[in-house]
Amino acid sequence: MAKRKMILDLDTGIDDSLAIAYALGAPDVDLIGIIGSYGNVVVEAGGQNSLKILELLGHTDIPVYLGESHSSTSDHFDRMQVSADIHGENGIGQVELPEPKRAIEKESGVDFLIDAAHKYGKDLTLVPTGPMTNLAAALKKAPEIATEIGNMTFMGGALTVPGNVTAYAEANINQDAEAANAVLTSPMHSTMVGLDVTLRTLLTKKETQQWRDLGTEAGEKFADIVDYYIQAYVDVNDNLGGCALHDPLAVGVALDPSFVTTIDLNMVVNYNKETYGRTIGDDNRLNEPTNVKVSVAVDKDRYLKTFMEYLTNLFKQN
């Protein structure tokens, strides 16, 4: 049992599945639960995908909880077509996995997070890789967790590059800019792993072939899932030369901050019509102590080596 405990807050599509695998493959942390969110898929489908991936990887001991099903300012969620294009209609590259034997937990994901923060405190690492809705709801219900949670590293935002759903906004932040703003302007300290670094951290079919060559079910299924993702990137942005490891990079940075170079900044998230979802420095707090470390450069070769080591070793066993 590792001292460090991790909770993933996922809208489980393809890179979220890779994030789960990275957390399971890392030797220095225990994944104690997954909270489902909306985004790449609706929340119920994301929860089921998490259970399927956990079962594929031999970890039916890890519980999955459902969080909020829509943003903090709406009463429903409409999945964007681009999400289906990139992740497949089922969220995992149209790859069929067996229905999971384990059921979704009855406790809400928000309450699970609050309870875990009280229990583990500074030993708890939280990695949200979807909208910030669940975390904002938890902070509203139990503000004290802002200073109890030891490490909050999130995938989202764009500071030095354009967004990927609008000129200003990255997809996760765009789903609920108000929630993201509530989190980033709270006392909670966090590390932002945004498009500034994730678009430089790429996987190709060279790596997925290595998984396929293992001859295991997990290796083959993940190769199929990620090959779908790689082809989707070719269709959407063929300049990159691979698929971006958005969510697993956030998990990697949560465990080893030296993968990235950061700048210290107080941040605000715009939620006016013109620049909705923009993550930018807060000019009202320029001279105050900072609470966000923004990743602006990444040691992509060392990260990819670690990523492949963790996932390949995991897939060998399943």
Active site positions, annotated: 11
Residues in CB range of 218: below 8 A, 6 or more apart: 56, 57, 211, 314, 315, 317, 318
Name the residue among 59, 2, 21 with its Cα closest to residue 223: 21
Contact 22, 54 (CB under 8 A): no
As a whole number of angstroms, the distance between CA 46 and CA 87 comes to 12
Contact 18, 43 (CB under 8 A): no
| CA within 13 Å, CB half, 78 | 3
> Could you identify the residue written with the tokens 């609706």?
42
Neighbour-count burial for 63-82, b at 16+ CB within 10 Å, e otherwise: bbbbbbbbbbeeeebebeee
Name the residue among 111, 135, 152, 115 with its Cα closest to residue 6: 152
Contact 156, 169 (CB under 8 A): no
As a whole number of angstroms, the distance between CA 219 and CA 253 comes to 24
Query: Would you state the structure tokens that stand for residue 303, as one six-digit string?
Result: 């990260």
As a whole number of angstroms, the distance between CA 231 and CA 50 comes to 22
Q: Which one-letter DSSP state was computed for residue 166?
A: S
